[in-house]
Every structure is written in structure tokens, then in C-alpha cells.
Amino acid sequence: MDLSSLIRQYFPTYDNDVTIDVFDEKNIYDVYHRVVSVLTQHLDIETTVLEAMSYCFYEILDNVLIHSGKELGTVITQYDPKDHVLGFLIADDGIGVQASLAGNEKYANISEPEALKICIEDTVTDGKGMGFGLYSTFRLNSKAGLLLEVRSGSHTMQVKNGEVTAIESEPWQGTIVYMQLQTDKEIDPAEVVANRTNIAEQYKEAFLNDNELEQLW
């Protein structure tokens, strides 16, 4: 995987503030917890955004191990406190979105652009998951997102300003999910997951210890 190329393309303001992690089934939770824990130290990041981001972030990491056909994935993150923008990218060099969805008979003959457009819809899955991770990420994008991209094969699905498009792009073997979030915007995290789970409580249990909780009161 050409990490230098990914950084140049997606993090052009790179100045040693980009973090890179490689994850597999053994360390996925450790990587997830470390990345989000670092973000919790930035008091200017709105807590509700972190609550929703942490849920979607883990779901996308898990998608790599479930759907890509590969054992490893890479995550790159960058936070810009000046503009209050968090960017994160999760990439693999697996089978890609179209081939993954084709494992479900319902999507066996779907084209690559169509596969990228529908992968963010509710319950769209290859049959190995619930089809909720990218859907909740799409909903997060509608609340606090500046940009959401899913790139696979020779196309990129982009969600920007509420519009969903699929365009031809430089080929990528596997899948890249890239997102930019506005971190100083208060949102309702329950709406991101369509009120199906209590992600605020999950975030508190995972990232706020008893001492931190006491300091909040």
C-alpha cells in the first residue's frame, strides 16, 4: 500500500501531524481506542461529534476485516484545531466494494458506480454484516460532515453538500473510506444511528473513566 501517495492526495497539509496505524483482528480495538483517546484530549472538539464519530469509526475499521478479504487495514488521521476539522481515512487492498456486494445474490450484477452509491444505504450488505456501518457514517456526514468519499476500483462515491455522486477516479485495488468532520458543531448522536443504540453511553463507558466523570460535575 502506497501510504505516501495516500497522504499526498488526502492530507496535503501534512506537517508531521498525521498519525498512521495498521490494524488486524488482534489489535483493532487497541488502535480504535488509541485514536479516539487522543482526540478526547482536544477539548475544543464537540463531545457529541466524538460520540458519533467513535461509533462510525469502529464500524468502518471492522468492515475491513469482515468484507475486504484481507487481514490488515490502515488508518490515517489528522486533526486541524485551527479550522476545527478532523480528517480520517481507512484503507485496504482487498476485493473492493463491488466484488464484496456481489457476494449477495441481490447485488450479483451490480455495476461499480451503482455499488458505491448504494453501499451507504441502510441494510445494504454482502450478507456478512448488518449494512449499518456506512449508513450511519452517511448520516453522520449529514450532521457534521464536510466530505465523505468511498473509493474502490476505478470510481469514487462522494457525498458533499448533500449530493451523492459516483465519478471515475485513479484506480485503487481495495477500498478507501475518507471523511472530513466539522468538530465544533453540536449534533444529536442518537440521530446518527437512527436511535438504534445508545452511542453516547458507549462512548462514556469506553473513554471516560470514573475520575473524569467526577470532574464533569
pLDDT at 196: 94
Enter the DSSP assignment of 127: S
pLDDT tens sequence across 62-107: 999 999 999 999 999 999 999 999 999 999 999 999 999 999 999 9
With vertex at residue 59, the alpha carbon angle to CA 203 and CA 88, rounded to the nearest 5 degrees, is 85
Domains and CATH numbers, the chain: 18-209 (3.30.565.10)
Q: Do residues 146 and 182 make contact, with C-beta atoms less than 8 angstroms apart?
A: yes
pLDDT tens sequence across 126-143: 988 888 999 999 999 999
The model's confidence at residue 16, banded by pLDDT at 50, 70 and 90, is low
The one-letter code for the residue type at 19 is T
C-alpha cell at 123: 441494510
C-alpha cell at 148: 465523505
